[in-house]
């Protein structure tokens, strides 16, 4: 099987024009089939404040009411996605912007209300693997924003880490998939104040200890949960680190392992 890289880029890199341009240059130069996944939560928060729309977060997850969904759709599916696509085209990468509704690419259901009502937040139920396979075989590079749909006309906000993991899992029957989570740090840090304190491997047993010690907390928890689920469902490799890791330019990253 062909190799496939599914790369998710974090919001702090999207916020920094120079860092984003550097990342996109490295991404465009990656050989073979690849998919880029992005969110844009920081920009959405800024715009919401400008429009006097309240923003509420719980454990790194955004509560998405109708007003916030409008903002997210405009930014994720519009400005951010199309700017990335245009920049990749300029770098010789034939990118194609996609939301979950386009071509029925990523299906989801509205998260059921248990303790917390997350509003218009979607939990992924499936991806259109054939669509992505056809695009990749035709040398298109899908650029997926963090919007899914319920197949009944409702758009849903979905965590970009989760979308990346779902794509990696869903395409693992067709490709040898590596999943890369790129953000502003060199990897998962043991000490947030020390940029060099990268935890180079995380196993399930280590993860429990790191969570208990609150070294791993907040938004990093769902990210690593997604990593382990991806490995359990056929993804070959999962790494978390700085954008330069996709070009092999850094020594330290965090490798997620599903065994001890």
Can you give the pLDDT at residue 181? 94
Residue 128 corresponds to which tokens in the numbers above?
């259109």
165: confidence class by pLDDT, cuts 50, 70, 90: very high
- Residue whose structure tokens are 């937040």: 121
Q: Worst-scoring range by mean pLDDT, 54-68, 75-89, 110-124, 125-139?
A: 54-68
Interval 1-38: pLDDT, tens:
799 999 999 888 998 999 999 999 999 999 999 999 99
Condensed to tens digits (0 to 9), the pLDDT of residues 181-204 reads 998 888 899 888 888 899 999 998
Q: Structural domain of residue 141, as residue ranges?
A: 3-256
Instruction: Look at the pTM and tell me if it is higher than 0.85.
Output: yes
What is residue 195's predicted lDDT score, i.e. its pLDDT?
A: 85
- Average of per-residue pLDDT across 216-244: 88
CATH number at residue 235: 3.40.1160.10
User: H or E element: which one contains 84?
Assistant: helix 81-90
Number of domains in the chain: 1
Nearest CA-CA partner of 156 in 111, 114, 96: 111
For range 203-213, the mean pLDDT: 90
pLDDT confidence band for 247 (50 / 70 / 90): confident
E-strand ranges in the chain read 3-9, 34-38, 56-58, 61-63, 95-98, 106-110, 122-127, 141-145, 147-149, 155-157, 176-182, 201-202, 237-241, 254-256
Confidence check: pLDDT of 224 > 70: yes
Phi, psi of 49 (to 5 degrees): -65, -40
pLDDT above 80: residue 153: yes
State the average pLDDT for the chain. 92
Closest Cα partner for 100 from 4, 13, 170, 187? 170
Q: Inform me whether the pLDDT recorded for 111 exceeds 80.
A: yes
pLDDT-derived band at 218, boundaries 50, 70, 90: confident
Q: Sorting pLDDT into bands at 50, 70 and 90, what band is 220?
A: confident
pLDDT at 260: 58
Residue 141 has a pLDDT of 98
Summarised one tens digit per residue, pLDDT across range 53-87 is: 999 988 767 899 999 999 999 999 999 999 999 99
Banded pLDDT at 129 (limits 50, 70, 90)? very high
**pLDDT of 80-90, one tens digit each?**
999 999 999 99
């Amino acid at each position: 099987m062909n190799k496939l890289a599914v790369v998710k880029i974090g919001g702090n890199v999207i916020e920094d024009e120079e860092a984003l341009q550097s990342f996109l240059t490295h991404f465009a130069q990656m050989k073979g089939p690849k998919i880029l996944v992005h969110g844009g939560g920081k920009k959405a928060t800024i715009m919401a404040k400008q429009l006097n729309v309240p923003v509420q977060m719980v454990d790194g997850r955004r509560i998405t009411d109708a007003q916030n969904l409008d903002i997210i759709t405009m930014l994720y599916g519009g400005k951010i996605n199309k700017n990335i696509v245009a920049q990749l085209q300029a770098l010789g990468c034939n990118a194609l912007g996609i939301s979950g509704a386009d071509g029925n690419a990523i299906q989801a259901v509205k998260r059921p209300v248990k303790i917390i009502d997350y509003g218009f937040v979607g939990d992924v139920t499936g991806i259109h693997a054939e669509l992505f396979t056809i695009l990749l075989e035709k040398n298109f590079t899908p650029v997926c924003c963090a919007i899914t749909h319920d197949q009944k006309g409702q758009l849903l906000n979905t965590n970009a880490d989760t979308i990346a993991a779902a794509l990696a899992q869903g395409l693992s029957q067709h490709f040898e998939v590596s999943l890369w989570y790129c953000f502003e740090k060199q990897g998962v840090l043991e000490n947030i104040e020390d940029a060099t304190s990268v935890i180079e491997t995380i196993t399930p047993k280590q993860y429990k200890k790191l969570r208990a010690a609150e070294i791993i907390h907040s938004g990093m928890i769902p990210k690593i949960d997604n990593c382990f689920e991806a490995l359990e469902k056929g993804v070959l490799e999962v790494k978390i680190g700085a954008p330069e890791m996709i070009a092999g330019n850094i020594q330290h990253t965090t490798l997620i392992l599903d065994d001890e």
